[in-house]
Each structure stands twice: as C-alpha cells, then as structure tokens.
Amino acid sequence: MSWSRTKPKYIRKYDYKRSYARAKDQWFWPVNEIETVLIDKIMAEYKKQHKDLVIDTSDADNINFDYEKDLDLEQFNDEDKDEAIIKEGQIIDKLARQYIKSIYPKNLVVNFDDPKYKSLSNEQITKETLKLLKNKENVLIFQACFIATRKAIAKPDAILKQGNKLTLIEVKSTCKYKKNDNYGWDEKKFTDKKSKKHILDLVYQKQIIEKALEEFKLSFSISCQLCTIDNSKPARKYKTNFAIVKCDSIIQNFYDNYKDVINNFWDRIDELIQTKISSSFSLEPNHDNCGPFGDNESWQLFKEYYYVSSKYPFFGLSTQAIINPRALQNTAIWYLYDKYKDIDPTNLQKMVEIASEEKCLIKAGIRYHSAMANIQDNPKYWFPELTLPILSRKLKKKKVYFDFETLNSALAAFDGCYPYKQVVVQASIIKDHGDGKLISKNLICDPKNITIKWFKKVIDSLLEGIDNVNEYSFVVYNKTFEHMCLNDMAHYINEKEYIDKIVSFNGPLDTKGANHLFDLADFFDNRRNESCYIWPLKGFYSIKKVLDFVMYDKKSKAFAKAGCKNYKSLNVQNGGQAQNEINNRFFSIINDADWKKKEEYLKQYCENDVRAMIALEYWLKEHSN
C-alpha cells in the first residue's frame, strides 16, 4: 500500500513533535494510514505461517485502564474521522476556555474560533493577533495565530497579555499531572515521556511566538502554563474540572537538558520543510520508533509485526525458546536485531543459547526448559505438567462468568464521576450452578442515563440465585479490569450492603494483589509457569487470538459446546467498535431509535466474550483426558 498527500503550507506543532517520535519516512503519514498498513502486514504474516488461522489484531493484553487521550483538535480536524472524539474535544475546549476566563477575569476577550472570524486566513489572523498584542493593555486571546519566518505556524489555545508580559496557555486533556498543593511538578513527572511530550509542545509554541514577535518588532517576556484536567475530584455530568500547571521552571530545565533541540530548532523546521512525503515506510526496527519525547503512536503494532515476521530472526526466540515478546525491553529490539539478524532462526539449539545469554534484556522469565522436545512433539501447543492440576484445583465446579463494557471519557459520565473513569454500561453474565448448564443474562444501560440504581442492578445480577459465594468461582479474562470496575462501583454506590456484596467475591477494595476473581488469562499468559503455550500466537494471548486458535482446532468441541460465534459474524466484532458505539451514544451521535438496535448488537458481542472464556476453559479441560 502507498499513500500520498500534499504537505501543509506551514510546519505545524504536531508535525514537529512527530519528528522526534517517528522514523523520517513516516513524518507526514496520518496515524490511521500507518496502522492500516501494519495490520495488513501482520495479517499477511499470520496467514502465510498458519493458513487455517484468522488472528484478531487487537492488542488487549496490556491495556492501560487509566487511559487518557490528548484531544488535540488541530490534529483531529486534519485527519481524524471519529465524531465522538471530535465532539469530546470541542466540549473540553469550550469548558477549558470558561475556566481560563474565570481565573483571568477583567481582560478583553477575543476568540478567533468565533464564526465572525471564519473567513479569515491564517495570515490574516496572525496580523490581527499581533495588532491586539501591540495595542491592547490587557487581552485574553483564544486560538491566536503566529507564523514565523514563513515556515512554521503556532496556534496556542490561549495567549494572555498583561502589560509587557505574555502567558502562553496550552490545554491538555491528559491528566497525568497529579496535583500537589501548588499544582507543581516533580522531577519524576518531568522525566516521563508523556510529560516531556507536553513540554515539547510548549517549547515549539514558545519558539514560534518569539520569532514572530521579533519579526513584528515586539518584545515581551513569555511565561508558559498548561491547563490540564484535574482528576483528583469528581465533576458534574458532561463536565470536568481543570487546574493550571505553571511550567516556567520546567521549560528552563528542558532548555538546559536539551540544548541540542533548542539550538537546532530552526534546522529541524527546515528539515521538515525539505523532507519529501514518502509513498511508503520501512518496517525494519528503527530507533526513531521510540523517541525521547514520546513513542510512535503505532508502536504496539510495529512491535507485533516484528514479532510475527520471519524477516526479524531474533523474534524467533518467542517461538523457539518461549519468550513472551512483550517481555523484551525496547532497547533489546534494536540490540538483538543488529547482533543476530544473520542467525538461522530454525537452529533451535542456538536460539535457546541466545535466549539464555541475553536474559538481562528481558523483563520477564524465559521458559525454554522442555522446549526442545515439545516443539517437535507438538508444533501447535505445549502444556506444562502443572497447567491442568492447577486449573482443576483452583476452579470450582460452580461458576459465574462475566465481562464488562465501559464508557471512558474525559467528561463525567454522571454527577459525581471522575474524568477518565472506566464506567460500566454493559454486563454479560453466564452462570453454571454445577450441573454444566449455562444460564445467560445480558444487561445494558443507556450511556446518557447512567445511575447508581444501574450499578446496583449489575451487582444484584452477578449474585442472583447464589446462596453462598464461597461455593463459586467468579471467572474473568484479565482480571485487573473487572476488579477495577467493581471497586469503582462500590465507591459510587457507597452503601455498606453493596460494598459487602462486592468484597465477598471481588476481594478488599483498593488493595492490589488481594483480588478474589479467577483469571482464566493466567493459563495463556506464557510469563506464568502454569500457562500453556500456543506456538502460532507467538506469545500473544488476548482472548480473541486464543479463541481463533480454538475455533480452528479440528480435534476440539469446546467452541461449539460453549455456544460461541465467530466474531466476524457479529455486527460488533471487537472492543474498539463496542466503545465507539457507547461513546457515540453518550455524545448523542446515535439517536434513540438507532440505539435500540445497537443495544442488541452490543449484547451479542459482550455475551460472545463470556462464551469465549467458557470455550477456553473447556479447551483446557479437553487436555486433561
């Protein structure tokens, strides 16, 4: 696949930032186009290696459940087609402006997003911006525009002029900045790539503004601030809270620590201008996929391609020596590729030796005992001797299987909700009371009308018909997510009766490591001693990838016995689609009539996730005979 477009007239903020997080031949590629290419390549590799296998490309094993989005409207308007994300960004932008005006009152306010300025070009808005700064004593400007050296453009979210001082304010919807008494930053936060990415954002804006002012023969001292979401307190529905983070000392630290970036700023702008837009990009391991100021947005998909591709022999380690690919440190990717790219990956003994020699580069354990024998005995999967005894000992005869789907927004889902909370809007529950009969129940809530009563209904449904929870295993797949959701529901409800109910099967609230849920993923996550290893999956273990393997296992009856459907036959086929539908309803993009249809599709999808768990359990048990 190749792609082409016209370069922007001026280099923009995110063009500059991406030049520090991507290889050069990807600088001007939209994220969605990069991911389309990578997914196609990944699927082609899987099909080439395993003709019967259809692998889901979603990467759900290491989801960051404290997920936060950087809602950069300038970028979204240019390349994003997701209506809900754009609408969310617009609401955040509006609320942030209200907040900024409230903390800086008694200023003339000019908003260049106002429809009356719609016909003005960027060049005209730049002239108007500079006139305001020259002629007005106290003015607060939203969506000002600065063009410097006719090469680069900056559109800060807000500029405040008070006397001879300017304050540059950038709105960031991400809220990794946990506040202290002064909304300060500590050194640890600054070293985080997400933090440095935002600082680079401010540095870019400051450099452009200073140059534009110089060209217009204006001189101001410039302070920098971030207006970021404050996730330390709840908000009203469809609202969020903000905090101002003063960044002058952090900017100075950046200037001191990254002198080469500052000194070469305009050289980098020139390089971006001179760089031709590539019609394709390289898939070889590249240091530029992990930059000092943030990783390539598509880095997880790049890594998956490296894992499955025969072009990169060192990733054969994941098949031959049973290293989980996720356990490789990022630096190991370049080191191992350079050192072992000429090694024959079919030389099992050599690959095992390499795995042993390079374990210092691997975060998790290496499992290659028995590998040399088992890969030849069974080329598809390998069961350690303790897998099935542990499963039989831990999993009770009576079971409650369940799965949640959630709304995740920077805006409060209901009064009293925190920003970016994963709020349960859907639950699928299947019970086996010990007789092998599967009784299912599917619940869904309109995301526009979430109430405490809804959360109580979910908990009551999980425990319905159960006299003694200690007789049951409550089964999930990747239990961190459900445990977090149950904890949150306990806090939302805030009634002893329901807290006791949740603790009875979920474990103590807010206590890591004291989780009572039975996690079926433990038996497929090959970092664990009890897990089986499925060779074609090369260390990946998301439920859809494992289910695809089970579905095409001709010797197994587990898929049919569990009542599973092929995800490809469903109207909603993956978690990303499900969350998109939920988000679209939350922002009223889906009307009432259409939502009724969507509800049924979402129920089918969520129930299939639960039946997938059951199929995997049955498949494991088939190997106990």
Tell me the whole-structure pTM to 2 decimals: 0.86
Range of the domain at 133: 73-257
What six digits make up the tokens of 423? 């709020």
Give 519's pLDDT tier (boundaries 50, 70, 90): very high
* Whether residue 132 is found in the same domain as residue 192: yes
- Give the SS3 label for residue 72: coil
Higher pLDDT, 545 or 425: 425
* Whether residue 366 is found in the same domain as residue 395: no
SS (H, E, C) 521-574: HHHCCCCCCCCCEEHHHCCCCCHHHHHHHHHCCCCCCHHHHCCCCCHHHCCCCC
The answer to whether the beta carbons of residues 168 and 206 sit under 8 Å apart is yes
Total of domains in the chain: 3
The answer to whether the beta carbons of residues 623 and 555 sit under 8 Å apart is no
What six digits make up the tokens of 281? 């990009």
128 pLDDT more than 90: yes
198 pLDDT more than 90: no
DSSP assignment of 282-342, as one string? --S--GGGEETTEE-TTHHHHHHHHHH-TTSGGGGHHHHT---GGGB-HHHHHHHHHHHTT
In this prediction, what percent of the chain has a pLDDT beyond 90?
52
Higher pLDDT, 54 or 617: 617
* Whether residue 447 is found in the same domain as residue 493: yes
**Arithmetic mean of pLDDT over the chain:** 84
* Whether residue 248 is found in the same domain as residue 344: no
Q: Virtual CA dihedral for 423, 429, 434, 439, nearest 10 degrees?
A: 170
Q: What is the pLDDT of residues 150-160, one digit of tens each?
A: 999 999 999 99
* Whether residue 373 is found in the same domain as residue 420: no
In a domain, 298, yes or no: no
* Whether residue 365 is found in the same domain as residue 391: no
The answer to whether the beta carbons of residues 462 and 431 sit under 8 Å apart is no
The answer to whether the beta carbons of residues 190 and 249 sit under 8 Å apart is no
In a domain, 501, yes or no: yes
Under DSSP, the state recorded for 104 is S
Closest to 618 measured CA to CA, from 438, 433, 472, 360: 438
In a domain, 282, yes or no: no
- Cα atoms found within 13 Å of the Cα of residue 323, Cβ hemisphere only: 28
Q: Tell me the CA distances in angstroms from 572 to 30, 31, 550, 579, one per residue in order.
A: 25, 23, 21, 10
Higher pLDDT, 374 or 514: 514
Q: Would you state the pLDDT for residue 312? A: 64
Average pLDDT on 9-22 reads: 93
User: Given 257, 276, 296, which residue is the final one in a domain?
Assistant: 257
Which residues, 6+ apart, have CB-to-CB distance to 621 below 8 Å? 388, 391
Q: What is the pLDDT of residues 592-605, one digit of tens each?
A: 999 999 999 999 99
In a domain, 613, yes or no: yes
* Whether residue 613 is found in the same domain as residue 481: yes
CATH code of the domain containing 524: 3.30.420
State the Cα angle at 39 between 35 and 42, rounded to 5°: 140
Q: Which helix (H) or strand (E) holds 85?
A: helix 83-103
In this prediction, what percent of the chain has a pLDDT beyond 70?
80
* Whether residue 364 is found in the same domain as residue 326: yes
459 pLDDT more than 80: yes
Q: Would you state the pLDDT for residue 340? A: 76
As separate numbers, helices (DSSP H) first and strands (DSSP E) second, the chain gives 23, 17
* Whether residue 415 is found in the same domain as residue 479: yes
Q: What is the pLDDT of residues 233-275, one digit of tens each?
A: 899 999 999 989 889 988 998 999 999 999 999 999 999 999 9
In a domain, 253, yes or no: yes
Q: Would you state the pLDDT for residue 349? A: 66
Q: Would you state the pLDDT for residue 371? A: 45
* Whether residue 371 is found in the same domain as residue 427: no
45 alpha carbon, distance to own chain's centre: 24
In a domain, 266, yes or no: no
Q: Is 481 exposed, middle or buried (0-12, 13-18, 19+ CB in 10 A)?
A: middle
In a domain, 316, yes or no: yes
Q: What is the pLDDT of residues 378-391, one digit of tens each?
A: 557 777 778 888 88
Give 66's pLDDT tier (boundaries 50, 70, 90): very low
In a domain, 11, yes or no: no
- Cα atoms found within 13 Å of the Cα of residue 292, Cβ hemisphere only: 9
* Whether residue 371 is found in the same domain as residue 411: no
* Whether residue 370 is found in the same domain as residue 409: no
